[in-house]
Chain A
C-alpha cells in the first residue's frame, strides 16, 4: 500500500481518557450514584422451561422500604427482538431459560431487594427442557415458542421444529463436483457456549424527570437501540426517552442489548423508576451475568469437502446447527455468518451448506465479538488441515493453492477487490518458522487463517463543533469501551484540523444530542464513525477557510491549517490563528459546526462495483502438549493481519491481541457448563475459567502492508477479526504434536487427554479418525 504522509494518524499517542482510567476516576456505569436512588433487582426463572401459572407479589410489596414490584402485568403487552419479535422484557406466560427475568423490585437497600425478591411467589408448571439444538430441531421436540413461525425461506420438505432462521448457501453443482472429486473428507465439529465476561458489571439507572421524560443511564454499546426498546416496551413516545451513556468497562458485544434481544435490563429499570416514583439503579452481579446475559453460541458444523489430487478444492457441502438459545436474539445474523463462513474464504466453486438457527432452553445469542466467525473457522481451518493430511500436502501449500485472486468471488462476497490472504499466510509461516523450527517431543506447530466482513449495517453521522479557542468536540453515536472513539477517532479530527490530539474531545453519547448510530458493534467504529468524523472535520475546516479567506485575501482553496494557524499555502507569514477565526464565526454563523456521515448505501454500491477489500489474517502457534495430563501450553504465537491502514497503531494491536486472547480462552479453558435441567453450573469466576497471564504467550502482532479498506485513510475494522483463527491454530498445532485431531471445544486438559487416550487405545496412525 502506498505510504502517505500524515501528521498524527498512524501513531500511538495516549488514549483519550487514559489519565482518568489510571487514576481510578469513577467514570463507569457502576460508579454512578443518583441522588435519592433506590436499588433494583431482578427475579429470574428457576426453571429452564416452564409455564408461569401465577405470580403473587403481595408479600413482597408489603416489605417496608420496598417501593415497587413489577411483573409483565405492569408493562404493555409488547415484545422485542431483532428478527423474530419473540421476547417480553419480563416473562409472560412462559419462561424459556434459567435467567429469564420474571419480576423486579426497587427498594431502599440491596438487602431489602434480596428480601423482597425472596417473597415473590411464582408458581411454575415445569415443561420438558431441551438443551441440544440438534434434538430441539426434531419435529417431536417440545415447542419453545408457540406463536413463532418457521422461517419463510425454509424449503417445504424440511420437517423441523423450533427453527427461527434458515440460511441456504448454495452455488454451482456440489453433488456433481463431489462425485468427481479425487478425495473427500467428511467431518463434524462442535464449539460450546462462552460468555463475553466483560469485567465491568452491567448496570442501568433510570429517573423520571420533572417534565415527565425518562432519563436512563446505561453502560450499553448501542444507546440508540436502548432508547428504542425503552420507548416501545414501556409504551411511551420515543422523544420522551433519553439515554445517557457512561464509560464502559468492556463490552465485546455482550453489552449490545437492544440489538440482541439480550438482557434488556434498561426497560425493566425504567419501569421500576416509573412505578416507584424515584430513581432506580440496577447492578447485576457476576453470577447473574453468567447465568442470564447474552453469550457466544455453540455451533455444530457438518463439513464435507471434495478436492482434486493436486489440492484444488472442488466442492463443499455441510450443515450448521446454530444454538440461538431461548429467544432469537442475534441468532439469525450470527447463524447466517457462521453458515456463510463455513464455505471458507478460499476459492469454492460449488457449495451447498444449510444453516439452521435453533431455539433451546439456554442463554440467548448476542453479537459477541465476531459472531459466528470463530465457530466456523474452528471447523473450516481444522478441516483444511485434515484435507491436507489426507492429500499428503503441506497445510500452508494447500491453503495457498486455493487462495483467491483479485476479482474472484468467495462464499458471501461476490467480488474481491484485493486479496491479502496469501501475504498473511506467507508472513505467518515465516514468523513461526514453518518447516524450519526445531520442535521437541510433544510440541507441534499449527496455522489457521481467517477473514471477517465489517458487518453490513446502517450509516452513521458525526458532528464536529469548533470552540472559540480552536479546540473541538466530536459528536458520534458510538461509545468507547477501549475502542476507536477513545483512540483513533480523536486522531482523525486532529489530523484534518491540524490541531493537537489533546484539543479534541469525543463526547459521550446522549441520545438527545448525538447523531443516531447503531452503536459500537460489528468492527464498524472506524468505518462508520471514523469516516463520518473525517468528513465532519473536513466540513468544519472548509467553513473555517471560508471565514478566514477574506481576512487573508486568499481563496479558501489556497489555505491550510498547521499548528493551530490558518495560513496561505506557500506563504506561512500570511496567517491568522485558528482560535480567532473560530471566534469570528460568532458574528457570522454563530459557530463552525462540521457535519459528516458514512453513507452505507454508497459504500455497498462501491463494493459491488469495485469489489470488497476485506481484512484477512493468519495466525500460527507452537504448542506443547503434556501427554499424561492433556495440558496444552502455547509456547509461541504470531498474529498476522491486514488492517488496511492502522489509524491508532497501539489500539489496532491491542484489539488484535485482546481478540486473540479471547479465542485462546475459548480454545483452552472457557465454557458455560450446564446440568440436565439447564442450570448453569459455573456462574462465578471460581469455575468459569478466564485465561490468566501465565497461560498467555506473548502475542506477536504483525500488520502487513495489505490493501486499503473502505474506512478512512484505507482503514479496515480491527475489533473482531483476530477472534476468528486461534481455536483452529491451536487444534492444528495439537494435531501436529500428537497426531490426534480434536473436533470438539474446549481443548481442555480433560478433552485433550481423552482424545489422546482414545487414539492410543485404537492405535491409529496419524489420521483424522
Chain B
C-alpha cells in the first residue's frame, strides 16, 4: 500500500488524480481503519491531516465556516456551534463515544456518506454548503445535492472537501436533532430526524420549517412534501400527526441487521412528531394542542 502525507491541497489532489479509485483519503481514521481491517487495503492511503488551515471554526458574517479536519469533539465543545447551530451540536454530542469524537473529523462523516452519518441530516436541515476542490478548480455545492447515494458524493474519487459553510438559521428559529438508537451510547443511528422551524412574529404559525431525515433513504433527505404541508400553518396535534405520517412516507428505509424498514418508518413518524412539538415549544413556549 502506498502512503502519502500531502502538505498542501494541490499535492493531495495530485495524488488522488493519479490513484483515483485506488486511493482512500484518511483523516481521523475511525471509519477508514475499520475498512482496512475487514476489507482489502487500498492501493494508496492519503493522510490529509498535515494540510494546514483545514482545522478551524470561524465566523464569517452570518455563517460559520468549519474546516473538514475539525474533530467532532471540537465541534461539540465550540461555544459558537452550541449557541448558533444547536442541530449540528446535538448530532456531534450524540456521536459514537468520547474517544471516537476526539479523532473523528467531520470530513470523515461527510466523505463516508453513510445514510446514517450522524451529522448529515443536520447539515441538510441547516442548508449547509460544501466547498470542493478538484484538480481543475473549486466549486461550492449545497449538501442537498452533494450526497448521491450510500458512499457516493460529488467528490467522486478525486475531489477534496475544503470547507463546510453553514449559514446561521434565521433569527427566532428553533430546532432539534433526534436520534433513535438502542443503547444511547456508541450506537449508529437507526433513524435521525432534524427539525428546524421559524415561527412567525406572533408565534402563531410556521413561517418556515425544515425537516431532514437520516438513515432512512440512500442519502440524508429533506422531507420536502412535509415541509410544504406545514409552511405557513398553525401547528395542531392533528396537523403534526399528519405531517409525521407524511414524513414517514417520504422516507424509503431498508431492512437490515439493525432494524426492519417498517419500524424505521414508525420511528420517523415518532421523531418527526416529537421534533415538531419540541421545536414549537422552544419557539413559542406553548405545547401543540
Contact = CB atoms under 8 A, between A and B. Distances in A.
A669 B181 CA distance: 11
A750 B186 CA distance: 18
Contact of A681 (B34, B182, B257): B257
B186 A692 contact: yes
Contacts of B257: 673, 681-682, 687
Interface in B164-213: 180, 182-188
Contacts of A500: none
Interface string B252-275: 000011111001001100100110
A694 interface: yes
A695 B183 contact: yes
A748 B183 CA distance: 10
A749 interface: yes
Given A628-B273, A629-B180, A687-B258, A692 B266 contact: no
Interface residues of B, number: 21
A757 B260 CA distance: 15
Given A753-B266, A757-B266, A693 B260 contact: no
B274 A628 contact: yes
B188 A628 contact: no
Contacts of B263: 750, 753-754
B154 to A, nearest CB: 27
A750 B184 contact: no
A679 to B, nearest CB: 10
A676 to B, nearest CB: 13
A696 to B, nearest CB: 10
A681 B184 CA distance: 21
Interface centre among A287, A689, A757 (most CB of B within 10 A): A689
Contact of A749 (B34, B38, B182, B273): B182
Nearest to B180: A629
Contacts of A692: 183-186
Contacts, number: 46
A689 B183 contact: yes
B260 A691 contact: no
A291 B167 CA distance: 47
A755 to B, nearest CB: 12
A628 B183 contact: no
A314 B267 CA distance: 45
Contacts of A158: none
Contacts of A757: 266
Interface in A157-213: none
A686 interface: yes
Contacts of B34: 686
Contacts of B267: 629
Contacts of B180: 629, 749
Nearest to A633: B184
A688 to B, nearest CB: 9
B259 A628 contact: no
B185 A695 contact: yes
Contacts of A748: 182
Interface string B93-111: 0000000000000000000
Contacts of B186: 692
Interface in B226-253: none
Contacts of A694: 183-185
Nearest to B260: A750
Nearest to B185: A692
Nearest to A631: B182
Contacts of A693: 185
A670 B184 CA distance: 14
B183 A691 contact: yes
Interface in A590-634: 628-629, 631
Contact of A689 (B38, B182, B273): B182
B182 A669 contact: yes
Nearest to B258: A687
Nearest to B266: A753
Interface in A717-750: 748-750
A686 B183 contact: no
Interface in A625-674: 628-629, 631, 668-669, 673
Contacts of B266: 753, 757
A521 B259 CA distance: 35
Nearest to A287: B38
A692 B186 CA distance: 8
B234 to A, nearest CB: 23
A305 B179 CA distance: 43
A663 B180 CA distance: 23
Nearest to B188: A686
A629 B270 contact: yes
Nearest to B259: A750
Nearest to A668: B182
A134 B98 CA distance: 44
A753 B256 CA distance: 17
Contacts of B270: 628-629
A628 B268 CA distance: 10
B32 to A, nearest CB: 14
Nearest to A694: B185
A689 B187 contact: yes
Contacts of B274: 628
Interface centre among B34, B182, B186, B260 (most CB of A within 10 A): B182
A753 B270 CA distance: 11
Contacts of B256: 681
B43 to A, nearest CB: 15
Interface string A680-718: 011010110101111100000000000000000000000
Contacts of B182: 631, 668-669, 689, 748-749
B20 to A, nearest CB: 24
Contacts of A682: 257
Contacts of B185: 692-695
A754 B267 CA distance: 11
A407 B217 CA distance: 63
Contact of A695 (B38, B184, B188, B258): B184
A95 B17 CA distance: 46
Interface centre among B186, B259, B260 (most CB of A within 10 A): B186
A694 B38 CA distance: 29
A684 B34 CA distance: 10
Interface string B18-36: 0000000000000000100
Interface centre among A668, A684, A692, A754 (most CB of B within 10 A): A692
Interface string B50-83: 0000000000000000000000000000000000
A269 B34 CA distance: 27
A158 to B, nearest CB: 36
A689 B182 CA distance: 8
A750 B259 CA distance: 7
A498 B66 CA distance: 67
A48 B91 CA distance: 40
A681 B188 CA distance: 15
Contacts of A691: 183
Contacts of A684: 38
Nearest to B97: A692
A201 to B, nearest CB: 14
B36 to A, nearest CB: 12
Nearest to A695: B183
B247 to A, nearest CB: 14
A16 B186 CA distance: 33
A669 B259 contact: no
Contacts of B38: 287, 684
A681 B259 CA distance: 12
B244 to A, nearest CB: 10
Interface of A: 287, 628-629, 631, 668-669, 673, 681-682, 684, 686-687, 689, 691-695, 748-750, 753-754, 757
Given A694-B184, A753-B263, 11 more contacts: A668-B182, A673-B257, A682-B257, A686-B34, A686-B188, A689-B182, A692-B184, A694-B183, A694-B185, A695-B185, A750-B259
19 contacts: A628-B274, A629-B270, A631-B182, A668-B182, A682-B257, A686-B188, A687-B257, A689-B182, A689-B183, A689-B187, A692-B185, A693-B185, A694-B185, A695-B184, A695-B185, A750-B263, A753-B263, A754-B263, A757-B266
